[in-house]
């Protein structure tokens, strides 16, 4: 057998090159090419590398296909089940990614405890010893019923244990630590990650085992390894949050068995992760009163309405080039809103530093938060206060107009439940459908009309005195 040839492979997208390149021509990443050896295998072994290797597959007429019934198992964490689409599907492969120390292993250990009551769970760890896992399990109150621990990085030995134990759920922490004896490349390389993941997916589909894979993240925040790994699995979940804060958010980037718009909210405590059933009330718990630069907005994460607090700080720039900083709001979206306000209202943001933040580590991606962001920025610049009992909804156009948003009734209902008595909404929404709720609705057509809700500082002091 001839030895394998050397080539260079991009660790981000898997692009191959005969020579080293500084920038990948496919994905544009810099310094991601690593040298690997192409495996020389006999033709008889090619079938073992295919996901579906049975030779009796034939084309079937579309009318003859049967609708599959996906069996789901509850993980015991309602927030995680919401993101998965109702539970863990039998025979599915889920990739869970997040920054180091964010709580991925803690989440999976708690899930193992619940699933172990009715299922057989095999927890494979390539990063921790059995003693370390035992200490974490005791801290989390995990009893270990039907839970098997394996500290191994060899794929062949893991498969041997899978054949012996025959688990219903297989957890691998993490996929980057595994290696196969058939491959000469180092663990974590593109070839190792791709081939090992393919072997696990093949076993999951063939034996009906639910597989949970943990993936590392790179310095840009994406999943480390080839992008093809995200296309191979059934669901990709991101575990987000600041390690300095107690709140964690899990969201689905890809889900073949559910929606990708749902999120789950957890709070990190001494004894593990605790579900947050009412995140809106938690996010507004420390909201200041009567302070400029503060506005509330209701965003929809799937079917769940969330009340978020947007804070803005506009201050005179000490340097010729003012600073712009955004946390939780897309930076380009913030610059667009600043440009609209400066052009249509004549406000001088160009001579000031602008800082924007969404409380609680929440990230707002939908345009329905535009009006709240604009009011917070105007409030901080003019020192006029947005009333505490008011919530703002609407998408801001380049001409200063306010466009309609979806799910307006659910948003207003959630705001009313949390004590808000006034809501600024686009007039277009009220023209399409009348909202019959005991809350004052203020229809506005443009950002000019929305300015009338701002209060002067003396008005705010008088209201607080009353």
Reading the chain (466 residues) residue by residue, the pLDDT tens digits are 455 678 888 877 778 888 888 888 888 888 878 777 766 554 444 444 443 344 456 888 888 877 666 788 889 899 999 999 889 999 999 999 888 888 899 999 999 999 988 899 999 999 888 889 999 888 888 887 889 999 999 999 999 999 999 999 999 998 989 999 888 777 877 888 888 999 999 999 888 899 999 987 765 656 655 667 888 899 999 988 766 677 888 989 899 988 887 888 898 888 889 998 888 887 788 888 889 999 999 998 877 888 999 999 999 988 888 999 999 999 999 999 999 999 999 998 999 999 999 987 788 888 999 999 999 999 999 999 999 999 999 999 999 999 999 989 999 999 998 999 999 999 999 887 788 888 999 999 999 999 988 866 555 444 444 4
Q: What is d(CA 166, CA 465) in angstroms, rounded to the nearest whole number?
A: 69
Instruction: For the domain covering 71-277, report its CATH number.
Output: 3.40.50.300
Instruction: For the domain covering 282-465, report its CATH number.
Output: 3.30.230.10
- Structure confidence at residue 458 (pLDDT): 53
Domain locations in the chain as residue ranges: 6-42, 71-277, 282-465
Q: What is d(CA 295, CA 293) in angstroms, rounded to the nearest whole number?
A: 7
Cβ atoms of 368 and 329 within 8 Å: the answer is: no
Q: Which two tokens stand for residue 123?
A: 């927890």
> Interhelix angle for 190-207 vs 155-165, to 10°?
10
Q: Where are the beta strands (DSSP E) in 2-139?
A: 6-10, 16-17, 33-37, 72-73, 88-89, 93-98, 121-125
Q: What is d(CA 129, CA 135) in angstroms, rounded to the nearest whole number?
A: 10
Q: Name residue, tokens 């192409």.
A: 38
Asked if domains 71-277 and 282-465 share a fold, the reply is: no
- Structure confidence at residue 461 (pLDDT): 47
Provide the whole-model pTM: 0.74
Q: How many helices (H) and strands (E) does the chain have?
A: 13, 23
- Structure confidence at residue 3 (pLDDT): 55
């Amino acid at each position: 057998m001839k030895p394998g040839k050397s080539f260079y492979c991009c660790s981000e997208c898997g692009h191959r090159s005969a020579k080293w390149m500084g920038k990948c021509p496919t994905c544009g990443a810099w310094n991601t090419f690593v040298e690997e050896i192409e495996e020389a295998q006999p033709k008889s072994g090619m079938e073992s590398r295919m996901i579906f290797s049975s030779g009796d597959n034939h084309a079937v007429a579309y009318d003859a296909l049967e609708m599959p019934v996906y069996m789901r198992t509850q993980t015991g964490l309602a927030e995680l089940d919401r993101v998965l689409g109702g539970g863990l599907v039998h025979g599915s492969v889920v990739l869970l990614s997040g920054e180091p120390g964010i709580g991925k292993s803690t989440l999976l250990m708690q899930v193992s405890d619940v699933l172990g009551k009715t299922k057989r769970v095999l927890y494979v760890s390539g990063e921790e010893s059995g003693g370390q896992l035992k200490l974490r399990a005791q801290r989390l109150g995990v009893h270990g019923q039907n839970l098997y621990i394996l500290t191994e990085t060899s794929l062949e030995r893991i498969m041997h244990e899978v054949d012996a134990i025959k688990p219903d759920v297989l957890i691998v922490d993490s996929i980057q630590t595994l290696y196969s004896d058939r491959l000469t490349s180092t663990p974590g390389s593109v070839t190792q990650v791709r081939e090992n993941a393919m072997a696990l997916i093949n076993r999951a589909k063939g034996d009906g085992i639910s597989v949970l894979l943990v993936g590392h993240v790179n310095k840009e925040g994406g999943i480390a390894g080839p992008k093809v790994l995200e296309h191979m699995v059934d669901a990709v979940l991101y575990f987000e949050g600041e390690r300095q804060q107690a709140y964690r958010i899990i969201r689905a980037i890809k889900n073949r068995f559910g929606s990708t718009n749902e999120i789950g909210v957890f709070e990190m405590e001494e004894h593990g992760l605790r579900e947050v059933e009412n995140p809106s009330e938690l996010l507004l718990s420390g909201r200041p009163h009567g302070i400029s630069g503060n506005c509330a907005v209701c965003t929809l994460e799937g079917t769940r309405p969330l009340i978020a607090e947007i804070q803005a700080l506009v201050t005179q720039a000490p340097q010729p080039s003012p600073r712009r900083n955004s946390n939780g709001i897309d930076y380009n979206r913030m610059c667009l809103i600043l440009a609209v306000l400066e052009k249509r209202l004549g406000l001088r943001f160009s001579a000031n530093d602008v800082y924007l933040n969404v409380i609680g580590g929440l990230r707002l991606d939908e345009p329905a938060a535009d009006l709240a962001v604009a009011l917070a920025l105007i409030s901080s610049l003019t020192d006029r206060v947005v009333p505490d009992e008011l919530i703002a909804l609407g998408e801001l156009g380049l001409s200063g107009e306010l466009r309609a948003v979806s799910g307006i009734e659910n948003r207003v209902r959630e705001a009313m439940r949390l004590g808000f008595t006034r809501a600024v909404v686009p007039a277009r929404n009220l023209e399409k459908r009348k909202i019959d709720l005991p809350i004052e609705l203020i229809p506005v057509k443009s950002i000019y009309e929305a300015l009338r809700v701002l209060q002067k500082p003396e008005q705010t002091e008088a209201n607080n005195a009353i």
